[in-house]
Amino acid sequence: MGPQPTAVVPEIKRGIECQLRGAKCFGVGLHLQNIYSIVFELKNDEKITILAGVMPVKFERRLTMKIKGLLALIFLVSGAAGIITADAALQEESLTFLIEKIAARMESYPELENWKAGLLTTNIEVDKKGNQKKLTKIKMLVSVRGDERTEDILEVLRTRKGKTNDITEDYRRKVEQQKAKMEKRKAKQAEKEKGNSRFEISLEELLPFSMEKRNKYSFELIEETEYNDIPVYILKSKAKSPGEKYWEGQYIIHKDTYDLLRVEISPSKNPKYVKEFDIKMDFAVLPDGHFVVKQVKTWINAGMFLKRIRMISEQEYSDYKVLNLP
């Protein structure tokens, strides 16, 4: 069994002596070996050793079955507490390691500055009962060159009350009018509106894995399972101090590569006039190693009084091409 420790835990010792009504207790302390073992060893009629989890105790005099049962319960609980504490520490260490791996993987992708892709956007406006009021499908070709993004609108179809119309030309005209208005505004006002637009939220703002942000969240590993036949971790985050800029939710992580496959998140505190705001995003890694968005689905329920928006918006990207510009 190894040498007995000499350190004594007085409060436990006193409790045992009280229950034994004066039976001599030799000491209580930590037994650093066999932490997970539970052993009962009857040496003779006068001595017994109980080792449960981390606590061994020896005492003299014959023990009644009642006292044996009481001590067994005491030390089983103590041992279980030690095991749970050790297991929690190991889980916390493993979780920290997992988050560091995810963050390192996110930083490892080559920067995607110039690219183009097809984009299909589906906007569905619903009433307060969830019934569809209007559906708009927009097909376009998106090109990004550094900070400049252009959208070539190919087709726009709108369905209302069961009737579908092609509104491509009207939609293009409205987009151009909006661009012209934006160009006339002052740069300061334009920057203010850009910051308030939900479409300008960056991926870095949505994710909690960076060194600067992770200490503001608590994390939990929900399970290890399969997603689309891929072994994955399912991770959950929760903001320690809720706020509009802290997004929390669930993340699906590739178990072998630590690639982020999917997120389902919402603000830990909704912005003013926003009742519901949920985002679901699916990602992929291109053959050349670039990390890209495959699909974005948002649900927003916002507004005040008679003016309220209830909309489901889906964006599907396809045919990514990396542009090798001089």
Query: Which candidate, 290, 302, 45, places its Cα nearest to that of 317?
Result: 290
56: pLDDT strictly greater than 80: no
pLDDT tens digits, 288-308: 999 999 999 999 999 877 788
Q: Kindly indicate the confidence band of residue 60, based on its pLDDT and cuts at 50, 70 and 90.
A: very low
Measured CA to CA, the distance from residue 226 to residue 239 in angstroms comes to 26
Cβ–Cβ < 8 Å for 120, 295: no
pLDDT of residue 53: 36
Q: Averaged over 4-24, what is the pLDDT?
A: 36
pLDDT of residue 189: 59
pLDDT of residue 16: 35
Region of poorest pLDDT, from 195-199, 220-224, 302-306: 195-199
Measured CA to CA, the distance from residue 197 to residue 132 in angstroms comes to 25
Higher pLDDT among residues 90 and 3, named by residue:
90
Q: Is 191 helix (H, G, I), strand (E, B) or coil?
A: helix
Measured CA to CA, the distance from residue 245 to residue 275 in angstroms comes to 16
pLDDT tens digits, 270-285: 998 999 999 999 999 9
Cβ–Cβ < 8 Å for 223, 201: no
Query: Which candidate, 148, 115, 102, places its Cα nearest to that of 290?
Result: 115
230: pLDDT strictly greater than 80: yes
Cβ–Cβ < 8 Å for 175, 150: no
Q: Are strands 38-42 and 148-160 parallel, antiparallel or unpaired?
A: unpaired
Query: Which candidate, 196, 218, 205, places its Cα nearest to that of 279?
Result: 205
Cβ–Cβ < 8 Å for 172, 151: no
Measured CA to CA, the distance from residue 121 to residue 297 in angstroms comes to 10
Q: Is 26 helix (H, G, I), strand (E, B) or coil?
A: coil
Cβ–Cβ < 8 Å for 23, 61: yes
Q: Kindly indicate the confidence band of residue 76, based on its pLDDT and cuts at 50, 70 and 90.
A: low
Measured CA to CA, the distance from residue 168 to residue 118 in angstroms comes to 16
Total-model pTM: 0.69
129: pLDDT strictly greater than 50: yes
Measured CA to CA, the distance from residue 271 to residue 274 in angstroms comes to 5
Where do the DSSP E strands lie in 62-174? 114-126, 132-145, 148-160, 163-166
pLDDT of residue 200: 56
Region of poorest pLDDT, from 5-9, 35-39, 124-128, 249-253: 35-39
pLDDT tens digits, 174-189: 998 888 887 777 555 5
